[in-house]
Structure 1
Amino acid sequence: MMDTESGSDRYDAWVWNGPGDPDRLHRVEKQVGPVGAGDIIVANAMAAFNPVDWKIIRQGHPAWKAGHVPGVDGVGRIVTVGAGVTLPVGLRVAYHQGLGRDGSFAQRTVLKAASALPVPDGLSEEQAVSVPCPGLTAWQAIGKVPALPDRDVLVTGAGRSVSLILAQLAVKRGWRVWVTAGPAHHDHLLGLGISGAFDYRDDAWRTKLAAALGPRRLFAAFDTTSGTYADTLADLIGYNGHLVCIQDRIETAPLPAFTTAVSLHEVALNAIHEYGTAADWSDWRNAGTKLLEAVRIGALDLQPTVMTSFDDLPRNLSSFMQAKLKGKILVNIPGDQS
């Protein structure tokens, strides 16, 4: 049975009531509250699943209380604007929501106008909602490394959303890009300009990479698996190189001091919502706008999408967590977009 809260302007949402698997999310009817200065309300057309969604649902978050709405990525139309907002009502936007606020697994989401990315004409909602979290994570990750020419870099897990976008951004920098991915992805990746693809399940993939590099060493390695796994990549990186840990962070130096002098980097996309300055948000929107435009003109490939229903959101998010659903999983959200 659906729970209800008092009020007249109501919308459906899936809410979190405590740490646990995503299939414990509960559907409620909520009331639209007042919009604050600098905020907008978006009527969601779609949401997208990202690994951070099920991870935080399972472990909780310091800012979450019972009744919190998860979901970081959404797309829809602005229906209300707060004081100081110049974006027009009716504008189609994609967004990445901060974890501390109610998210996209709902018919309505209140968010900072600064985090909204106008969706260009000619770009579908399916494409637009697939970009914010993985695209901006990839942008932040590659920004950690100087854009020096004629370098070799490794991207792990290139069959997944973040790594797929990151690998393409690295190719556009003029780097020789090497990736690990399941064999089913290799032909597609090589067609995007990747120099070589290795099966991460092959115990000899590091030896094969070293043979392909010859006398060269990696300038950077971008890992999307874990801090523990990223640590094992350090010895592949040459002098004054970079190790970028996207899924976690490395707490201690993986190599002896004063050897190859590898720099360690962490990536924390959500941190901008708490620590970002106006200049940071300007960079964020500029990067997001460029990513959306690259997708629109066919210059950036995304994972194949799988559309799912709002009614089945908890079950499908659990299947995504268990890797039973593969690809970029989207949620069609019914309701009035006007």
Structure 2
Amino acid sequence: MNSLHYTLQAGEQRFALRTAQRDLPALAANQVLIKVGAASLNYRDWLVLHGLRDTRSGLTPLSDAAGTVLAVGSAVTQWQAGDRVSPAFFADWHDGSFKPQHMASALGGANRDGVLAQHIIADAASLVAVPDHLSLEEAATLPCAGVTAWHALFERGALQGGETVLVQGTGGVAMLALQLASAAGARVIVTSSSDEKLSRARKLGAWQTINYRERENWDEVALEMTDGAGVDHILELGGPTTYTRSLNAIGYGGRIAQIGVLSGFDAAPHITPMQFKNASINGICVGSVKHYERLNAFLTKHRIHPVIDRQFAFDDAEAAYTTLAGASHFGKLVISTN
């Protein structure tokens, strides 16, 4: 079968995004052929494009997609033609604890081709069903950003109703975390440099908002908002420029989910205060297939629709990357392959 896909080709300063035709191989017994309906971008994809994540020339980028099953291998019983499915970020992390070998199965990274294609082939065990109430475009926002937020708040964070959550920014992980936490009865604080984005966050259910350009000491503001108790959960998305403030804002017994590197990879905060707060830091690197299934069950129960800022045509993928780099989006950027 002949199909169009994108590849990254080595250039002088960064990889170039190119389209190419390829012949898809015959399905192995445990594999599934999927017609991709949509894919979405994450900050990781910008890093891959610029060769900051061990990118190889010829790689098909992006990790997040949703589509429709066209055919299944001879041993596949859980899927059939016509099913709507989405591949997990880590194709080999099905359940249980994360293992070193799982890292190599991350889609759209150094070792495993991704999903920016008209058709992909995936292992049957790496797929989850798309919730009936979601479009393929909405489902395509979930494998990285949605699962990361779910893993941080519920699998490792054990979020309870009435607790406070602080999320940094208004990107994909942050807005999905806002929606999930609000649905669970938590009080969510959102930080951003844009009053317009903060207004939109309040409409999504944010309890409080902080413009960190106007109030650089957002950690002190968060403490005031919680009457000095501190925040129960912080999704740490910024990195070196935000970490010290997160350590100050976290409450006694609180949990910081270490997720983002928006300001770099060299966060080296003074973590002694965590000891005397009996607080913890959880490293979060997306999640497993089972995490994804439980996320989808929660989304279905609460009828949550992920926020999509803009959609791009398949032949306009370069513009989607440019928009991602500009960081002006609210929620997710999606590329439609239809």
Common topology (TM > 0.5): yes
**How far apart are the structure 2 equivalents of 1:246 and 1:111?**
26
Of 258, 262, 271, the match for 1:245 = 258
Of 62, 68, 76, the match for 2:59 = 68
Of 206, 209, 212, the match for 2:219 = 206
Name the SS for the 2:185 alignment partner.
coil
Q: Which amino acid aligns with 1:313?
A: A
**How far apart are the structure 2 equivalents of 1:320 and 1:250?**
22
**How far apart are the structure 1 equivalents of 2:259 and 2:11?**
23
**How far apart are the structure 1 equivalents of 2:189 and 2:305?**
17
Deviation readout 1:62-86 (Å, 9 max, x if unpaired): 5x54322111111221122224322
Q: Between Structure 1 and Structure 2, how many residues are aligned?
A: 311
* Partner of residue 272, structure 2: 256
Deviation readout 1:237-281 (Å, 9 max, x if unpaired): 222221112114787563327422321111111xx5xxxxxxx53
Name the SS for the 1:13 alignment partner.
strand
**How far apart are the structure 1 equivalents of 2:320 and 2:251?**
42
RMSD: 2.7
* Partner of residue 277, structure 1: none
* Partner of residue 116, structure 2: 105
TM-score, structure 2 as length reference: 0.81
* Partner of residue 34, structure 1: 26
* Partner of residue 128, structure 1: 139
TM-score, structure 1 as length reference: 0.81
Shift of 1:50: 1.7
Asked whether 1:285 is paired with 2:289, we answer no
**How far apart are the structure 2 equivalents of 1:233 and 1:120?**
34
Q: 1:105 to 1:218 in 2, by over 3 A?
A: same
**How far apart are the structure 2 equivalents of 1:18 and 1:289?**
41
Q: Which amino acid aligns with 2:276?
A: T
Name the SS for the 2:69 alignment partner.
strand
Q: Which amino acid aligns with 1:302?
A: P
**How far apart are the structure 2 equivalents of 1:45 and 1:220?**
35
Shift of 1:290: 3.4
Q: Which amino acid aligns with 1:73?
A: D
Identity %, equivalent residues: 23
In structure 1, list runs of 5 or more residues that go unmatched: 1-8, 273-279
Shift of 1:54: 1.7
Mapping of residues 225-236 of structure 1, within 5 Å: 225-236=238-249
* Partner of residue 5, structure 1: none
Q: Is the 8 A contact 2:239 2:267 kept in 1?
A: no
Q: 1:282 to 1:20 in 2, by over 3 A?
A: farther
Mapping of residues 127-146 of structure 1, within 5 Å: 127-142=138-153, 143-146=155-158
* Partner of residue 82, structure 1: 73
Look at both structures and tell me which one has the larger radius of gyration over its CA atoms: 1
Mapping of residues 1-338 of structure 1, within 5 Å: 9-18=1-10, 24-59=16-51, 61-62=53-54, 65-86=56-77, 87-97=79-89, 98-99=106-107, 100-142=111-153, 143-148=155-160, 150-157=162-169, 159-181=170-192, 182-202=194-214, 203-248=216-261, 254-256=270-272, 258-269=275-286, 280-291=288-299, 293=300, 299-323=303-327, 327-334=331-338
**How far apart are the structure 1 equivalents of 2:295 and 2:226?**
31
Q: 1:184 to 1:90 in 2, by over 3 A?
A: same
Q: Which amino acid aligns with 2:71?
A: T
Q: 1:327 to 1:281 in 2, by over 3 A?
A: closer
Shift of 1:58: 1.4
